[in-house]
Amino acid sequence: MPFRDAVVALLEEARETDQRRLLVVHGDRDSCLDAAYDALDAAAVDAEDATLLTTREGLRYDRLRPKHADRLLGTTRDAVVLDAFEEFSANAVGQSVGAVDGGGLYVLLAPPLGEWSDRRDDFDESLAVPPFTVADVTGRFRTRLVRTLRRHPGVAVYDADAGVLERDGLTDGSAPRQSPEPTVPAKHAFAESAYASCLTRDQSRAVRALERLRHPGNAVVLEADRGRGKSSAAGLAAGALALEGRDVLVTAADARGTDALFDRARELLEGEDALDGADDGSLESTAGGRVGYESPADAAAVAAEADVVVVDEAAALPVRLLERFLAASAVAFVTTVHGYEGAGRGFSVRFRDRLREADRDVREVRLEDPIRYAAGDPVEAWAFHALMLDARPAVADAVADATPESTRYRVVDAGELADDERQLGEAFGLLVLAHYRTEPDDLARLLDAPNLSLRALAHEGHVVSVALLAREGGLDADTRASMYEGARVRGNMIPDVLTSQLRDEDAAEPVGYRVMRIATHHAVRDEGLGSRLLEEVHRELCDRADYFGTGFGATPELLRFWRRNGYRTVHLATTRNDASGEHSAVMLGPTSRAGRELHDRNAARFRDRVGDALSDALRDVDPDVIRGALRACEADPEPLLDLSEYEWRVVVGASFGPGAYGAAPRPFRRLALAHLLEGSAGLSAREERLLVGKVLQARPWESVADELGFVSTRQCMRALGGAYRSLVGEYGTAVAREERARFEQHD
C-alpha cells in the first residue's frame, strides 16, 4: 500500500473509533522529516493543529524543541510529531503523547529501528556521568521500545529509506462503546453551570462528589488516568465554592499543572457574571470567595485557614506532606493513577492507609471515561506499556508470607531486566513506590546508565524489596578541581554537595555507593526486609567501596531507619525542597580508611556549623528532625564542652540559682548540642525538643510553650532549668560542681 494511502487508512480508522494511532517513520533524518510532512498533508491536518518536536528550524508547523515537550501538557493537537534524532528522551514521549486528540496521529521519527539502540545521543551523554563515558552507556531502553513498537496494536511502521510499509497499524476493531452523556443531578448544591460544563458522566459524578467539600470534616479523592478531566472537575467545583463565598486553596507540585483547574474555575465565575478580580494564581468572586494557589510547602502551613484545600496531582507529592493537608476543614486530593504527572502508587497504597485513620468522612471517585479520545485507545495502552506507567509490584497474596529468612538476595542484571517484563514491572513498580516523582526517564536510566545498579530480595520468584544504587566518586584530580570551582558533575550527588557546597576538595576521590531509592512491598512493610537488603548490599560491595551513602528529605522516621542501618549524618541542607517542604539529609557509612576520613572530617564540620544554622536557616525545622539528625551524627561532642569557668557559672546560676538563660546563650547552646549528639544525660524527648526549639532555634517562649504543651511560659522556663540541671550533672567540671554546691546547700 502506498505510504499516503496507508496514512489515510490509519486516520480513517482513528476517526471512526475516536481513538489515536501511532505512526513510526524510521531511516535517514531528512527522509523521515519528508515522510512526516507527507503524512500530515495526507491526513489534511491544519498547520495550527499540529506540533513538531524537533531541533530543526524553518518548519511551517508549530515547533518546540523535544526538551520543551512539557509545554504540551494539558493541551490538545490533531497531530504531534516527535523527532527522536536529537534531544530524544522517555520524558519527551510521556509529555507529548497525551496531547493528541481522538482521531489524531502521533508520529515518531527515528533512526533505522535495527540500529537505533546502537546509536548514542544527547540523553545517552547525560547518562555518562563521570568517571564513565558514553561508550559505557547501553541501549536497552531503545531496544525494548522498538520491541513494543513492532508488536503493539495501532502502531504503523514505515521504512522511509526503503519506502516500505512494514506494519499498517490497523486494528480492524469495532467502534468502542460510547461514554454516557453528562447529566445534571436532580438535587444539587453547586450552580447548574458547573454540571452543564461537564463533558462526561464521570465528570458529573466527580463534581457531585465534590459538593461534600461544602461541609467540614469531608475528604474527597478523585483518581483517574490522564485525559479523564479530573482537574477540570476540580476546577468547576472550586469555582462553584468561590461562587458561594468560600476560600479555596489550590496547590500542586508544579503551578503550571493547575492551569486547567483555574481555567474551568474562571469560566464558571465568568459565566455566572461573578468574577470580581483575577491575578496570577488567584480568582476573586463577587460573593467574597477566592480560588488561590500556593506552593505545597506554603499551602500546608496555612491549610487550616482555608475553607477548602484542593491538592492537584497529589501523587507528585510525598505522603508526609499530604498528611499535613488533613488539617484543612475540607480537602480534595486529585491524582493521576498512570501518567507523566506521577504514578500514583505511593498515594494509592501508603496515603490511603493514613486517610482511613484520619477523622474524616472520605468519598472516593474513579473517573474511567477518557475525554480526549474513546476508551480502549491503543496509543494510550502502548505508552503505558512502553514507559512502564502501569508498572505494579507483585500482587499482595504472592508475597504476603515473605520474611527476611524466606527471601533470596539478587544482583539484578539490567539486560535480564529489560527482557523480563514481569520482573521489570515488579521492580520498577516498587521503585515508583519509593519516590513520589518517578518519571519515564527513570526507566531509561535504570536500563542504560552505567553508574546505576539494582539489588533485590525475591520471595518465591517475586520481587519484594529493591535498592537502586549509584556509584559515585573516584574522580580524577582535574574533575575534582572543576567541581570545587563550581562545575556541575552529573551523577555524583554526595561528592558534589561535600565539594561545591561544603568546600571539601577531596570528597570526590573516595568511591561510594549511594542508595538512591529503597522500597519494600507494602504487604510486608515493617518486617525487616529493607534492613536485610541493605545488610546484603553492604556485605557484597564493602570491598569495592570506601563508603555507602544516602540523601533524602529528612523525617524522624527515615533518620532512625538509616541510623539503625549504620549511616551517620554529615549534612542537613539549609534550604527546603519546594515540593516536599523537607530539608535534605546526607548520611555516610564508611567502609575503608579513606571513607572513615571523609566521614570524620565532614561530621566534625557539621557539628561545628549546625549550631549557627539552627538559629537562622534551620529555625523552622521540626525539632524531631533536628534531634534525629544530631543523634545520627557520630562527631565527637568533646570540642563543644570548652566552656570557660565564667560560662559554667552562668549555666549553673540559671539552672540552680537566680541567673538568666539569656545572659550568655553560647554555653547553653554548646551543652545542648553535646547532649543531642550523644544523648547521655537521660533527658526526655520533650526536654530535648525544648533544647532544640528554645535554645538552638531561638524561638519565642510563647510559641515553644504552646508547641510542647506547657500550661504557661513560666512552666516552660522551669522545665528548661530542669533540663540544664541534668546537663550540668553529666558534663559539669569541678568549677560547675562547686558553683552548684553553693546553691544546693541553701535548699
Binding residue numbers for acetyl-CoA = 518-520, 557, 564
Residues annotated in a binding site:
203, 372, 518-520, 557, 564
Cβ(586)–Cβ(599) under 8 Å?
Answer: no
Spatial separation of the C-alpha atoms in residues 320 and 324, rounded to whole Å: 7
Residues annotated in a binding site for ATP:
203, 372
Which one-letter DSSP state was computed for residue 182?
A: P
Q: Which residues contact 601 (CB under 8 A, 6 or more apart)?
A: 504
DSSP string, 70-94: GGGTT--EEEEEEETTSS--HHHHH
3-state secondary structure of 164: strand
Cβ(616)–Cβ(651) under 8 Å?
Answer: no
3-state secondary structure of 577: coil
**Helix residue spans in 490-590 (DSSP H):** 493-496, 529-541, 556-564
| Residues facing residue 459 across a β-bridge | 462
Instruction: Of 173, 172, 171, 167, give the one whose Cα is nearest residue 150.
Output: 167
Instruction: Of 349, 345, 491, 358, give the one whose Cα is nearest residue 428.
Output: 345
Spatial separation of the C-alpha atoms in residues 4 and 16, rounded to whole Å: 18
Establish whether the linkage from the previous residue to 378 is cis, with ω within 30° of 0.
Answer: no
| Residues facing residue 548 across a β-bridge | 513, 589
Q: How far is CA 674 from the centre of its chain?
A: 34
One-letter amino acid of 254: D
Spatial separation of the C-alpha atoms in residues 224 and 347, rounded to whole Å: 13
DSSP string, 202-231: HHHHHHHHHGGGGSTTEEEEEEE-TTS-HH
Spatial separation of the C-alpha atoms in residues 400 and 379, rounded to whole Å: 35
Is residue 525 classed exposed, middle or buried when 0-12, 13-18 and 19+ CB atoms within 10 A define those classes?
middle
| Residues facing residue 62 across a β-bridge | 51
Three cell numbers written together for 390:
502501569
Spatial separation of the C-alpha atoms in residues 531 and 625, rounded to whole Å: 21
Cβ(184)–Cβ(148) under 8 Å?
Answer: no
CA torsion 94→96→102→103, rounded to 10°? -120
Spatial separation of the C-alpha atoms in residues 447 and 142, rounded to whole Å: 10
Cβ(226)–Cβ(336) under 8 Å?
Answer: yes
Spatial separation of the C-alpha atoms in residues 133 and 130, rounded to whole Å: 7
Instruction: Of 163, 211, 176, 202, give the one whose Cα is nearest residue 308.
Output: 211
**Helix residue spans in 211-351 (DSSP H):** 230-243, 259-271, 296-302, 319-324, 345-346
Cβ(438)–Cβ(473) under 8 Å?
Answer: no
